[in-house]
Amino acid sequence: MRIRVVVVAAVVVALAACSSSSPKTASNGPTTTVTSVSSTTGTPAPSTPDRQVWLCKPGLASNPCVSDLTATAVAQDGTKTVEHAQPARDPKIDCFYVYPTVSNQTTPNANLKIDPAEIGVAIAQASRFSQVCHVYAPMYRQVTVFGLVQRDKANRVIPYADVVRAWNDYLARYNDGRGVVLIGHSQGAFILEQLIANQIENNESVRRRLVSAILLGGNVTVKDGSDVGGSFHNVPACHSDHDVGCVIAYSSFDQPPPENSLFGRTRTEGQHVLCTNPAALGGGSETLDAYFPSRRLGGPINFTLKPLARTPWLHYPEGLTGKCQKESGANVLHITDARPQPGLVLRDALGPTWGLHVYDVNLTLGNLVDVVRSEAGAYRP
């Protein structure tokens, strides 16, 4: 079955999300159960009012980052099994997530109203991290889809200022000295790059709380022959799932990037765009552990046709491989799709210059959650 995608302008978007109330069984094939962790309890709110608008935060009455994680796993031969997982009750660390460009409000910058687009992308990209961390995700007045088209009308200072304010609020009210993983995609990744460079890496007391930074589709740069020296000076690339205080970054392509590709390239002499494969942080090619929402919830990408599974998630533990390599002058995560019955068909929905940008997070989501789980075990406050 092929998914047809309607793109609203050529803009940065994320996979739309899934329903949180889907049945627990697959439509066909045998059923197995994966051992799950305990359910979440949330953390008590401080006694003083919190004026920050949070998309996700422990204790929220409606929190998309603790939605249903039930998945239908699809094997190479097409066999389907159902897997169950739940948010952790008392995780050791936090995650601070900044979502990509998803707002389809008709103003250059979004307001702080939580729309289906933000809910959808939080489920699609951040909710599975709730197995290993408490997820905090601030609303911010991002540059909207309209703002990217009408570039001269968008205020690009406001989004960063909003995230800095939310970060400081998180540190003051909720962090309590805990380790934290920063997670961002596209516009969210670019903002977090600034946050690390300006607010974190030169502040030792804050930097030592950084478990890692997952910055996808954001063109993080390093000096040639080095792990640092581009975007950051004190935050190196991750080389194993026990490294902490490091960064994971890549942009995904399944074809050689064209010369005008938007990702994997830098114009700064002596630097290159960092690629770290979460499935093989030490280098080489490895099977990806991919999770995709099985249906649409909201946002500027419109998935048509019927859902691909009765569960909220599709899990592809086989058939997709990734390898960081230089292609056509760009440093990217090259994706090879060997699934004989793909079901969900990957495509460059925004055109070849974007590659598989909309799938950046979901292609390696299982690997990323496993890496964060290992990093949490290795982290020492």
DSSP string, 76-142: TTS-EEEE-----SS-SEEEEEE--S----SSSB--S---HHHHHHIIIIIGGGGGTEEEEEE----
- Rounded to an integer, the average pLDDT of 169-177 is 96
Q: What is the pLDDT of residue 17?
A: 31
- Whole-number mean pLDDT of the chain? 86
Structural domain contains residue 47: no
Amino acid 150: pLDDT: 84
Which pLDDT belongs to residue 307?
A: 67
43 within domain boundaries:
no
- Higher-confidence residue of 50 and 82: namely 82
Of the listed ranges 44-53, 110-119, 148-157, 179-188, the least confidently predicted one is 44-53
Residue 34 has pLDDT above 50, yes or no: no
**Higher-pLDDT residue of 207, 25:** 207
Cα–Cα distance, 238 to 364 (Å, whole number): 15
Predicted confidence at residue 296, as pLDDT, reads 72
- Does residue 243 form part of some domain? yes
Tell me the pLDDT band of 20, cut-offs 50, 70 and 90.
very low
| Structure token digits, residue 245 | 């205080």
Q: What is the pTM of this model?
A: 0.87
**Residue 41 confidence (pLDDT):** 39
Is residue 45 domain-resident? Answer: no
pLDDT at 28: 31
* pLDDT (0 to 100) of residue 299: 57
Alpha helices in the chain (DSSP H): 116-121, 145-149, 157-170, 187-195, 204-207, 360-363, 365-378
310 falls within a domain: yes
Specify the pLDDT at position 174. Answer: 96
DSSP 8-state class, residue 173? I
Check pLDDT > 60 for residue 42.
no
- Whether pLDDT at 367 is above 80: yes
pLDDT of residue 55: 98
Q: State the helix-helix crossing angle for 187-195 and 157-170, rounded to 10 degrees.
A: 60
In a domain, residue 321? The reply is: yes
In a domain, 61, yes or no: yes
The two tokens of residue 133 are: 């961390």
How many structural domains does the chain have?
1
- pLDDT tens for 272-326 read 999 999 999 999 999 999 999 987 766 555 443 456 789 999 999 999 999 999 9
Cβ(141)–Cβ(103) below 8 Å: no
- What domain range is 80 assigned to? 5-38+52-378
Q: Which pLDDT score is estimated for 8?
A: 32
User: Strand, coil or helix: what is 169?
Assistant: helix
Who wins on pLDDT, 3 or 226?
Answer: 226
Within a domain: 100 = yes
Cα(136)–Cα(193) distance, integer angstroms? 17
- Percent of the residues in the chain that have a pLDDT greater than 70, as a whole number: 85
